[in-house]
């Protein structure tokens, strides 16, 4: 088993929270690895915060590969302690064969593991990726790649039926061989129940504090994307403000304005 993944399992067994942040380029990956983050997620969220797309459905495999290579280089130069986890983007895992082919490309680009949106509906893909020797994390709850179908980002697990379906998804992906499970916008009580009922680590985003770990988009943590601020994310810096302050200072000096 991958040493980094074994460490995540050990974290769950001793109730040590897992810290996950997104990274999309060399410098952020190196800085975060040096800071001691457990997992670097090259998320397809780069579509919005880096490429300016309206959602993740426009992100291509070529773009994911480009950013994966940059993050892998940064993590390596930062000491290489963090697990580099990369999203399989929209349309890249519609069949088991496609899932394996694209997961293989991501590993060749530097990923240690891949993440796949879907629960019981994607068991065949998870089994195929695992059979190919590639660790895979499943992603259930709100799935951003379904945002156009669902008409927005909606909290999951509000009804007994939804909660039961999420629990079924969790057990299905664990049985299929997923090493971990990301829970997005899941009712906290439901996320806590899932976390207690599976043997694999759960990573929450907007799913309460009882998951085995937490993930946030780096830009939300450091204030680098001021045009949208998720309610569940605590901004711990104002990097956008500092960039604009420094740029204005440079402009003023260059133009010799008072």
Strands 113-117 and 39-42: what pairing?
unpaired
Name residue, tokens 């810096």.
237
User: Which of 63, 127, 174, 184 is flagged as catalytic?
Assistant: 184
Helix/strand/coil for 167: helix
To the query of whether residue 184 is one of the catalytic residues in this protein, the response is yes
DSSP string covering 187-253: -HHHHHHHHHH-SS-EEEESS-S-SSEEEE-HHHHHT--TT---TTPPP---HHHHHHHHHHHHHHH
- Tell me how far apart the terminal alpha carbons of the chain are, to the nearest angstrom: 62
- Phi, psi dihedrals of residue 253, rounded to the nearest 5°: -65, -40
In residues, how long is the chain? 258
Q: Rounded to whole angstroms, what are the CA distances from 252 to 12, 239, 245, 257?
A: 52, 20, 11, 5
* 8 touches 14 (CB < 8 A): no
Name residue, tokens 């009712």.
187
Helix, strand, coil % in the chain, rounded to nearest 5? 50, 15, 35
Q: Which residues are catalytic?
A: 184
């Amino acid at each position: 088993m991958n040493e980094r993944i074994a460490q995540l399992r050990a974290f769950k067994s001793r109730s040590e929270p897992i810290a996950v942040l997104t990274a999309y380029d060399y410098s952020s990956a190196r800085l975060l690895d040096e800071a001691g983050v457990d997992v670097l997620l090259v998320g397809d969220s780069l579509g919005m915060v880096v490429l300016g797309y309206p959602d993740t459905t426009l992100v291509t495999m070529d773009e994911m590969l480009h950013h994966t290579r940059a993050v892998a280089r940064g993590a390596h130069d930062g000491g290489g302690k963090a697990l580099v986890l990369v999203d399989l983007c929209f349309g890249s895992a519609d069949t088991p064969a496609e899932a394996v082919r694209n997961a293989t490309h991501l590993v060749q680009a530097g990923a240690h593991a891949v993440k796949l949106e879907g629960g019981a509906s994607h068991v065949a893909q998870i089994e195929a990726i695992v059979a190919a020797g590639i660790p895979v994390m499943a992603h259930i709850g709100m799935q951003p790649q379904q945002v156009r179908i669902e008409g927005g980002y909606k909290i999951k697990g509000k009804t007994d039926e939804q909660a039961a379906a999420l629990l079924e998804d969790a057990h299905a992906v664990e049985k299929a061989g997923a090493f971990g499970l990301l829970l997005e916008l899941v009712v906290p009580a439901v996320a806590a129940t899932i976390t207690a009922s599976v043997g694999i680590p759960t990573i929450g985003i907007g799913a309460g504090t009882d998951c085995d770990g937490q993930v946030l988009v780096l830009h939300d943590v450091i204030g680098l994307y001021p045009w949208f601020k998720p309610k569940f994310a605590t901004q711990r810096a104002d990097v956008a403000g500092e960039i604009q302050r420094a740029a204005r200072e440079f402009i003023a000096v260059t133009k010799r304005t008072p």
